[in-house]
Amino acid sequence: MLSVQQLHVKGRRDDLLPPTSLRARRGELLLVTGERQDQRTALALTISGRMKPTGGRISWDRSERTKSLRLASALVDSPNVNEPEQHLSVRDLVTEDLALVPRRYRGALLSKPWLKVNRFEDIADLWTEQLPPDRRMELLTSLALANPHTDLLVVDSPDRHSAHAADWLPRLEELAYDGGRPLAVVVTVAALPAGWTGPAAVVGNSVHRPGATPAVAAENDLQLETEDAK
């Protein structure tokens, strides 16, 4: 389980990430809303172990070691961080990303057979900027999961590619609730999709569940501390 308590990152003038608490278990999809892109990206970077927080606590499976968090997590499509470059073809992107899989797990992972096995041959010769949002999400998450040790998927602002949640939400739900390989999936978004009733949190606030009041959020913070102590 990912447990985050009052995590924050200082910026030059104000907090790059205001104090934020959340939790996400394997087999769960958590949506985290934030109005500012820089704050959403800061959250995605810190909870995936790519950025050192100024304060607060973060743990993965009760370990607070950054290395453990980073090895277990994959950061997907973070703007100005690891989003695919527009001049890359899908084939070249796959070649580059598979080269990042740890050698002991890489085996014979080559782009051509990987594209065929994962059913991406139809888009192999497209530029990444030409990808429809749904296929982009399928491709990038499949690449993230090429590493068998990925248990935590952190997706940064998929709604920037499409305002229609149907273009990205079903794929992430499928991955979170996959009985064969259940993942903890955390997704930053500008706003919750219409009708969303699943777990949600807000950048700058404590854990929020649909219908939760500030008092409930504070109670959830206490519950986080209790669970970590077990």
Tell me: the pLDDT tens digits for 55-71? 999 999 999 999 999 99
By the 8 A CB rule, do 18 and 10 touch? no
Above pLDDT 70, what percent of the chain? 86
Confidence of residue 108 (pLDDT cuts 50, 70, 90): low
Tell me: the pLDDT tens digits for 180-204? 899 999 999 999 999 999 999 999 9
pLDDT of residue 86: 86
Token pair for residue 116? Answer: 């065929």
By the 8 A CB rule, do 106 and 98 touch? yes
pLDDT of residue 111: 87
Confidence of residue 179 (pLDDT cuts 50, 70, 90): confident
Whether residue 163 is predicted with pLDDT greater than 70 in this model: the reply is yes
pLDDT of residue 110: 80
Q: Which CATH number fits domain 2-84+150-229: 2.60.40.420, 3.30.390.10, 2.40.100.20, 3.40.50.300?
A: 3.40.50.300
Q: Max Cα separation, the chain?
A: 53
Confidence of residue 219 (pLDDT cuts 50, 70, 90): very low
By the 8 A CB rule, do 7 and 46 touch? yes
pLDDT of residue 218: 40
Mean pLDDT of 83-108: 84
Whether residue 13 is predicted with pLDDT greater than 90 in this model: the reply is no
pLDDT of residue 107: 56
Instruction: Please give the Cα distance from 65 to 199 (Å, whole number).
Output: 25
Cα separation of the two ends of the chain: 13
Tell me: the pLDDT tens digits for 30-54? 999 999 999 999 999 999 999 999 9
pTM: 0.87
Above pLDDT 90, what percent of the chain? 75
Mean pLDDT of 115-138: 95
pLDDT of residue 208: 43
- For residue 130, the 8-state DSSP code is G
Domain boundaries, the chain: 2-84+150-229
